[in-house]
């Protein structure tokens, strides 16, 4: 079999060598607990503070606005539940979000709802962007927090965060954005855009799994998820994962430094593959085509196929892609994102997400462009089998 091709960078990325190198000392000689007063503690504390400062710079934030977490899911939960729990008693019991959020946000919103919150989800357009009129309508002064992802993880559409954050801001509503897929793909500047809380994840940008951060604008009160020590100003008790923080900072810096060049490269990959697929399969549906999209995600459905079969066929050719979201068993479920955007069920359950990044080369794109239409033809071909009604029904 030819060299395997990884087109699933939106799922996770390999740890960059520079990041591993930066983290290395903290597994060995610089193992100290940053809360300790002795020299080991001081060394760790300095590294942690530096990492915080470096992440802050990458987001246009101030150092004290960065809180390290275990990843995107924790950041999102802290944002949604932390904000709602802190504000529910102040006449702000509603939570606004969208039906296309990552499950980390959606499930946190549902949890708030189980605990008594009023849940309001925005209407979507068929281009997989938030209907801003609907957002405007739902974000009233009784809302504790509104949460809208910056870049959708399945389709890659960019949401109008500047506008939404300003709307929320004007009504005293905290605005959170899940920027896990946006970091390094769109410009994020906390000094320019009035979001209050923002989530990022390490493993999408070349840091290890299990690390992330949440930006919390100065003055924003969140109820912590955990209870324990006073680490990170009590926002996130627990001995800090210094190595992960250092790794995240290094990965974030590299990502920002390379951002312009990388985005140009990814856009070229995506556009070339998209053109090739549409040329070979004229009825292929490219999702979010009418909207602004982040350059690293291409989501396409071929009518008459299903994601599951096509993903298997691709994997057996050594090509790793994904569908909507996978459940714990590893099976594919129809995309809740596409369904929420009014995409027909048969099209939604045929979606394939190809996502590009550090492991993508021109040769990868060429090969996928050549193989994909062949596999589609096979997946569309019916076996010599009767319809359900013909056999013993």
Partner 1 sequence: MKERVLVAMSGGVDSSVAAALLVEQGYDVVGATMKLFCYGDDVPDRPCCSLDSINDARRVCQQLGVPHYVLNLESAFGRDVVGNFVDEYARGRTPIPCVRCNTFTKFRDLLHKADAIDASFIATGHYARIVDGALHRGLDPRKDQSYFLWGIHRAVVRRMLLPVGASTKPETRAIAHRLGLEVVAEKTESQDICFVPDGDHTKILRQRLGAEAPALSVGPLVLSDGRQVGTHQGYARYTIGQRRGLPGGFPEPMYVVDIRPNERAVVIGPRAELLGRGVVARELNWLGEPPALGANVLVQIRHRATPAAAEVVRVGADEIELALDEPVAAITPGQSLVLYDDTRVLGGGIIEAARRVRSALPILAA
User: Near partner 1 by CB under 8 A, which window of 53-61, 68-76, 222-230, 380-388?
Assistant: 380-388
Residue 361 Cβ, how far from partner 1 at the closest point, in Å?
Answer: 24
Residue 139 Cβ, how far from partner 1 at the closest point, in Å?
Answer: 35
> In Å, how far from its chain's centre is CA 201?
8
Residue 316 Cβ, how far from partner 1 at the closest point, in Å?
Answer: 6
Residue 389 binds partner 1 (CB under 8 A): no
Residues numbered 323 to 352 that lie near partner 1 (CB under 8 A) are 327-333
Residue 160 Cβ, how far from partner 1 at the closest point, in Å?
Answer: 34
Single out the residue of 139, 142, 137 nearest to residue 92, CA to CA: 142
Report CA-CA distances (Å) from 37 to 27, 43, 132. 19, 10, 51
Residue 307 Cβ, how far from partner 1 at the closest point, in Å?
Answer: 9
Between 260 and 370, whose beta carbon lies closer to partner 1? 370
Answer for which of 63, 111, 132, 309 binds partner 1 (CB under 8 A) is 309
Between 89 and 391, whose beta carbon lies closer to partner 1? 391
Q: Are 361 and 371 in contact (CB under 8 A)?
A: no
- E-assigned strand segments in 78-178: 94-97, 118-121, 143-147, 174-178
Q: Which two tokens stand for residue 203?
A: 């493993």
Residue 2 Cβ, how far from partner 1 at the closest point, in Å?
Answer: 15
User: Near partner 1 by CB under 8 A, which window of 171-179, 237-245, 264-272, 309-317?
Assistant: 309-317
Residue 1 binds partner 1 (CB under 8 A): no
User: Near partner 1 by CB under 8 A, which window of 16-24, 95-103, 171-179, 378-386?
Assistant: 378-386
What one-character-per-residue DSSP string does 334-381 give?
--HHHHHTT--HHHHTTEEEEE--TT--HHHHHHHHHHHHHHHHHHHS
Between 230 and 329, whose beta carbon lies closer to partner 1? 329
Instruction: Identify the active-site residue in 128, 211, 263, 327.
Output: 327
What one-character-per-residue DSSP string does 277-315 give?
HHHHSTT-EETTTTS-B-TTEEEEE-TT--HHHHHHHHH
- Strand-pairing partners, residue 174, are 145
User: Near partner 1 by CB under 8 A, which window of 106-114, 132-140, 286-294, 307-315?
Assistant: 307-315
Cα–Cα distance measured from residue 32 to residue 326, given in angstroms and rounded to the nearest whole number: 38
Cα–Cα distance measured from residue 27 to residue 36, given in angstroms and rounded to the nearest whole number: 17
Answer for which of 315, 346, 362, 366 binds partner 1 (CB under 8 A) is 315
Max Cα separation, the chain?
79
Answer for which of 308, 336, 358, 367 binds partner 1 (CB under 8 A) is 308
Q: Are 353 and 299 in contact (CB under 8 A)?
A: yes
Residue 310 binds partner 1 (CB under 8 A): yes
* # residues contacting partner 1 (CB under 8 A): 29
Burial level of 198, CB count in 10 A (0-12/13-18/19+)?
Answer: buried
327 in active site = yes
Residue 9 Cβ, how far from partner 1 at the closest point, in Å?
Answer: 21
Report CA-CA distances (Å) from 346 to 184, 338, 339. 33, 11, 10
Answer for which of 164, 205, 313, 368 binds partner 1 (CB under 8 A) is 313
Q: Are 335 and 48 in contact (CB under 8 A)?
A: no
Residue 388 binds partner 1 (CB under 8 A): yes
Q: Which two tokens stand for residue 264?
A: 């140009």
Residue 305 binds partner 1 (CB under 8 A): yes
- The residues binding partner 1 (CB under 8 A) are 305, 308-310, 312-313, 315-316, 327-333, 375, 378-379, 381-386, 388, 390-393
Catalytic residue numbers? 327
């Amino acid at each position: 079999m030819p060299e395997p091709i990884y087109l699933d960078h939106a799922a996770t990325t390999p740890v960059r060598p520079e990041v591993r190198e930066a983290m290395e000392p903290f597994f060995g000689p610089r193992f100290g607990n940053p809360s300790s007063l002795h020299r080991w503690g001081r060394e760790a504390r300095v590294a942690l503070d530096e990492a915080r400062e470096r992440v802050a710079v990458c987001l246009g934030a101030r150092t004290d606005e960065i809180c390290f977490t275990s990843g995107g899911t924790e950041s999102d939960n802290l944002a949604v539940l932390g904000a709602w729990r802190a504000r529910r008693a102040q006449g702000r019991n509603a939570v606004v979000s969208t039906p296309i959020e990552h499950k980390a946000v959606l499930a946190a919103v549902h949890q708030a709802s189980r605990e008594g919150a009023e849940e309001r989800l925005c209407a979507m357009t068929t281009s997989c962007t938030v209907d801003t009129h609907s957002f405007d309508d739902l974000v009233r002064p009784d809302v504790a927090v509104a949460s809208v992802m910056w870049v959708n993880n399945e389709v890659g559409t960019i949401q109008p965060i500047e506008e939404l954050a300003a709307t929320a801001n004007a009504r005293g509503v905290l605005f959170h954005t899940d920027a896990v897929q946006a970091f390094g793909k769109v410009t994020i500047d906390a000094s320019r855009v009035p979001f209050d809380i923002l989530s990022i994840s390490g493993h999408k940008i070349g840091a290890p799994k299990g690390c992330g951060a949440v930006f919390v604008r100065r003055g924003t009160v969140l109820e912590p998820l955990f209870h324990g020590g006073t680490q990170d100003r009590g926002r996130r008790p627990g001995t800090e994962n210094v190595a992960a923080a250092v790794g995240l900072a290094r990965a974030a810096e590299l990502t920002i430094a390379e951002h312009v060049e990388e985005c140009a490269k990814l856009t070229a990959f995506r556009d070339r593959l998209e053109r090739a697929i549409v040329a070979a399969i004229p009825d292929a549906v490219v999702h979010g085509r009418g909207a602004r999209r982040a350059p690293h995600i291409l989501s396409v459905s071929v009518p008459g196929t299903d994601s599951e079969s096509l993903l298997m066929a691709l994997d057996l050719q050594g090509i790793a892609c994904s569908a909507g979201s996978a459940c714990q068993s590893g099976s594919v479920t129809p995309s809740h994102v596409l369904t929420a955007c009014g995409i027909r069920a048969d099209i939604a359950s045929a979606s394939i997400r190809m996502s590009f990044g550090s492991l993508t080369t021109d040769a990868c794109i060429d090969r996928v462009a050549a193989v994909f239409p062949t596999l589609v033809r096979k997946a569309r071909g019916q076996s010599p089998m009767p319809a359900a009604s013909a056999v013993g029904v």
